[in-house]
Amino acid sequence: MGNRRVVITGMGGICALGGNAADIWTSMKEGRSGCRPLVIEKRDLKTNIGCNIVDYPEDDGIEKRQGMTMSFISRIAVIAAREAMQQAGISMDTTDPRRTGSVVGVGTFGTDALDEAYSDIFLEKKKRTHLFTVPKVMPSGPASHVSISLGLQGPVFGVSSACASGNHAFASAIDQIRLGRADVMFAGGAELALVYGPLKAWEALRVLARSECRPFSADRDGLMLGDGAAILVLESYEHAKARGAEILAEIAGAGLSADASDIVNPTVEGPANAMRNCLEDAGISADQVGYINAHGTATQANDKTETRAIRDVFGAAADKVAVSSTKSMHGHCLGASSAIELISCVNAVREGVIAPTINYTTPDPDCDLDITPNEARERNVDVAMSNAFAFGGTNAVVAVKKI
């Protein structure tokens, strides 16, 4: 069972670049920025910009009773999952629900529900919180609500490993299929970062950009937070072929590692090990990778460290591989980032287009990669790799290949 091929048959997403996966990809190719003024109550926030969701549907189709128990993070996960399900042509009438599951990564949890609870208690002086605060803030809430909304009865669980959560969710879903526990898995990430409480905490870290996100540029000054979700349908190759599904790409491999060093400062060795493990799992060499969607947060430490890690793993091939950070457009959606970024990787191998790193102004000798500055580029790509490195020193890399 461990050798089962895993393919991607559907994609769904919602973030600052669009309300569906197709619009997100179009925005990426056109190099659009999702950075906008915040639309939340700012109170005493110094931060006034972020990558807000702007195309949320007027009617999200979520049943009222279920909606009462949902944080917004679960709502956007369900929206993305429904889109992915539709593209994949999956129906629980014809697919065994007991062999179909979901795993959704989150960096935090239902932060809007917790923020509301604290406001009710400490500002409004109410005696109790909302009845469903506990289920709203569960980190497993998005995965559970995807299961409830779509009728999935197979392996269902949440994953939380900060900014690597989306790729850890993909790796976990791949394992479920390879091990024969499921035929189909809805996997990805969701995040709600643009909430007062979390923003105050991020301000204290002093890593937020003042005006725009400029990954790998010498004048980069920090990351830009964003909200979003992306869910992809993963299934065994045999299952997809048997039902006549259109296969968008194949999972080449996944690699995981830990820095075992510092809770916030990245190492070179940890990310490098994750990339090596991914290449080994895929059974390919570094020079076969045509594109890397970098973690690329636009902090001074991350971009420099990631560059060194890529050079360590790729050697001479590091000068040939196309690299970009789409966080320059959709922002850092924390647990959802790598899920949104896999949309660009799948489309890179399908269309032969590398999404750009926008806002790039000044070369940095410590970031001497081909980072696809400012404009998309046409290039034949057989294998694309997505990097995700997180606080806590947890690293997850996923690669997809043309089929």
Q: Mean pLDDT throughout 96-114?
A: 95
User: Mutual orientation of helices 337-351 and 21-30 as an angle, nearest 10°?
Assistant: 70
The pLDDT > 70 percentage for the chain reads: 100
Q: Residue 381 pLDDT > 60, yes or no?
A: yes
18-65 per-position pLDDT tens digit: 999 999 999 999 999 999 999 887 789 999 999 999 899 999 999 999
Q: Mean pLDDT throughout 174-199?
A: 97
What's the pLDDT band for 330 if we cut at 50, 70, 90? very high
Is-contact 275 387, C-beta < 8 A? Answer: yes
Furthest CA-CA distance within the chain: 63
Q: Where are the alpha helices (DSSP H) in 246-336?
A: 269-282, 300-314, 327-330
Q: Residue 136 pLDDT > 90, yes or no?
A: yes
282-300 per-position pLDDT tens digit: 999 999 999 999 999 999 9
Instruction: Give residue 43's pLDDT.
Output: 83
Residue among 198, 220, 201 at smallest CA distance from 210: 220
Q: Residue 262 pLDDT > 70, yes or no?
A: yes
Q: What is the dihedral of CA 367, 209, 51, 366, to 10 degrees?
A: 0
343-364 per-position pLDDT tens digit: 999 999 999 999 999 999 999 9
Indicate which residue of 145, 168, 239, 295 is catalytic. 295
Q: Residue 2 pLDDT > 70, yes or no?
A: no
Rounded CA-CA distance 283/360 in Å is 34
Instruction: Give residue 137's pLDDT.
Output: 95
Q: Mean pLDDT throughout 301-310?
A: 98
Is residue 168 among the annotated active site residues? Answer: no
Is residue 295 among the annotated active site residues? Answer: yes
Indicate which residue of 35, 51, 163, 333 is catalytic. 163
Indicate which residue of 145, 168, 239, 332 is catalytic. 332
- What average pLDDT does the chain have? 97
Instruction: Give residue 155's pLDDT.
Output: 98
Instruction: Give residue 1's pLDDT.
Output: 44
The neighbour count for residue 107, using CB atoms within 10 Å, is 28
Is residue 163 among the annotated active site residues? Answer: yes
